[in-house]
Amino acid sequence: MEIIKDESELKLTIRRTFSYRRELVFETWTNPSHLKQWFSPNKEIRLTIAEVDLCVGGSYKFGFTQPDTPLHVVKGEFKTVIAPEKLVYTWVWDPPIPEAGKVMLVTVDFIDKGDSTEFVLTHERLCDSEVFEKHKTGWCGAIDRLDELFKSRSS
């Protein structure tokens, strides 16, 4: 996994190659039933709300639960949906997250490499270095869990 931090814009870019076809990676990234199996930074945090209206102007809502912590909700609107190659969507946390209300932007490119997929996630408009680090940890953990899910299905 390659992680790039753009200090001038507080933009996070993560690149990874999955040994799976682009259509499968895209489907697993966008289907609520699949998302509930892996989309969280670690196994203690669970995605309990996964609502996705996958179209331009459509919305999504994700709710994360963990022991002794209030529900954390992030939601946004899809700006670009080009299945199975690209997603662009806003990323807005609800309170009690300190950066609640701040509109960030996530772009995910699924680049076809035959039997594999180059995956590039870019998270822009991060508020500060602390928010950058939290999201880097979250995205890296989730992407690792996605890879684990793929590997468990193929074994």
pLDDT in tens, the chain (155 residues): 777 766 667 899 999 999 999 999 999 999 999 999 999 999 999 999 999 999 999 999 999 999 889 999 999 999 999 999 999 999 999 999 999 999 999 999 999 999 999 999 999 999 898 999 999 999 999 999 999 999 998 76
Q: How far is CA 34 from CA 25, 41, 68, 92, 108, in A?
A: 10, 15, 25, 22, 17
Q: How many CB atoms lie within 10 A of CB 69?
A: 11
The model's pTM: 0.94
pLDDT score recorded for residue 155: 63
pLDDT score recorded for residue 153: 81
Q: Please, what's the b/e burial string for 71-108 (b: 16 or more CB within 10 A of its CB; e: otherwise)?
A: ebbbbbbbeebeebbebbbbbbbeeebebeeeebbbbb
Domains and CATH numbers, the chain: 2-154 (3.30.530.20)
Asked if 76 and 89 touch (Cβ cutoff 8 Å), the reply is yes
